[in-house]
Amino acid sequence: MSSTIEKIQEQINGNPILLYMKGTPRMPQCGFSAQTVQALMACGERFAFVNILENPDIRAELPKFANWPTFPQLWVKGELVGGCDIVVEMATNGELQTLIKEAAPQEEE
Confidence of residue 24 (pLDDT cuts 50, 70, 90): very high
Q: Where are the domains of the chain?
A: 3-103
84 in a labelled binding site: yes
Give every CB contact of residue 75 below 8 A, 6+ residues apart in sequence. 12, 15, 17, 18, 19, 20, 81
Confidence of residue 77 (pLDDT cuts 50, 70, 90): very high
Give the CB-side neighbour count of residue 11, counting CA atoms within 13 A.
Answer: 23
Instruction: Report whether CATH 2.40.160.20 matches the domain 3-103.
Output: no
85 in a labelled binding site: yes
46 in a labelled binding site: no
57 in a labelled binding site: no
Global model pTM greater than 0.75: yes
